[in-house]
């Protein structure tokens, strides 16, 4: 692990901390909302057992890399997940974000993504971070554009062509 501090990050309305075993029910519900998962291309929604496995692998990544996926809360509690997907087998880190529907359209993604990117620069020296965005995902494309991300081509994932966007930190 490169940085053994476990971050709690804050923005004006949001708190972000590393995912934990106790988030399983919230993450499972998020993964089973078809409106949320439509453009994520992360495969079939997990069973409860698979969700626990995902969290365990996410915690392994935190231990290995010192960064990973984070749980987001607002005044109403759990509102999504966001962070870096970079398991041991993957060469490149990827920015991932998904909010519960109750959190959409309030500027949360635009508020939280830069908080994570700033921390990645300060704690881990990231100068940029890539994201794969479905070209039909208007909201995510708007977030990328607002945060100064640059479109750098197309990548194939799970049989779909996704746009590669590079976010400056």
Ligand X SMILES: CC(C)(COP(=O)(O)OP(=O)(O)OC[C@H]1O[C@@H](n2cnc3c(N)ncnc32)[C@H](O)[C@@H]1OP(=O)(O)O)[C@@H](O)C(=O)NCCC(=O)NCCS
Residue 122 interacts with ligand X (CB under 6 A)?
no
Among 29, 36, 123, 155, binds ligand X (CB under 6 A): 36
Q: Give me the least distance between CB of 91 and ligand X, in Å please.
A: 19
Q: One symbol per residue from 146 to 165: x for binding ligand X (CB under 6 A), - otherwise; what is it?
A: x-------------------
3-class SS of residue 62 = helix
Handedness of CA 60, 18, 168, 94 (dihedral sign): positive
Q: Give me the least distance between CB of 114 and ligand X, in Å please.
A: 11
Inter-axis angle of helices 108-124 and 138-146, nearest 10:
50
Q: Give me the least distance between CB of 85 and ligand X, in Å please.
A: 11
Among 19, 26, 140, 163, binds ligand X (CB under 6 A): 140
For residues 124 and 144, give the distance between their C-alpha atoms in angstroms, rounded to a whole number.
Answer: 21
Among 1, 25, 56, 138, binds ligand X (CB under 6 A): 138
Q: Closer to ligand X at the Cβ: 64 or 73?
A: 73
Look-up: residue for tokens 């965005």?
133
* Total residue count of the chain as it appears in this document: 169
Size of the site for ligand X (CB under 6 A): 22
For residues 146 and 16, give the distance between their C-alpha atoms in angstroms, rounded to a whole number.
Answer: 21
**Under 8 Å between Cβ of 167 and 147:** yes
What residues between 94 and 113 interact with ligand X by CB under 6 A?
Answer: 97-99, 104-110
For residues 3 and 147, give the distance between their C-alpha atoms in angstroms, rounded to a whole number.
Answer: 26
Contact footprint for ligand X (CB under 6 A)? 36, 39-40, 97-99, 104-110, 131, 133, 137-140, 142-143, 146
């Amino acid at each position: 692990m490169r940085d053994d501090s476990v971050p709690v990050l804050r923005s004006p309305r949001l708190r972000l901390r590393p995912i934990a075993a106790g988030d399983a029910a919230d993450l499972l519900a998020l993964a089973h909302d078809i409106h949320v998962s439509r453009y994520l291309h992360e495969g079939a929604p997990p069973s409860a057992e698979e969700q626990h496995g995902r969290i365990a692998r996410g915690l392994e990544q935190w231990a290995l890399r010192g960064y990973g996926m984070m749980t987001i809360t607002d005044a109403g509690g759990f509102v999504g997940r966001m962070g870096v997907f970079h398991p041991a087998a993957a060469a490149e880190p990827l920015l991932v974000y998904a909010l519960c529907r109750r959190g959409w359209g309030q500027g949360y993604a635009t508020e939280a993504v830069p908080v994570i990117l700033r921390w990645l620069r300060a704690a881990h020296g990231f100068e940029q971070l890539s994201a794969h965005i479905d070209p039909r995902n208007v909201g995510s494309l708007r977030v990328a554009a607002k945060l100064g991300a640059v479109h750098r081509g197309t990548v194939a994932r799970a049989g779909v062509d996704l746009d590669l966007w590079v976010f400056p930190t």
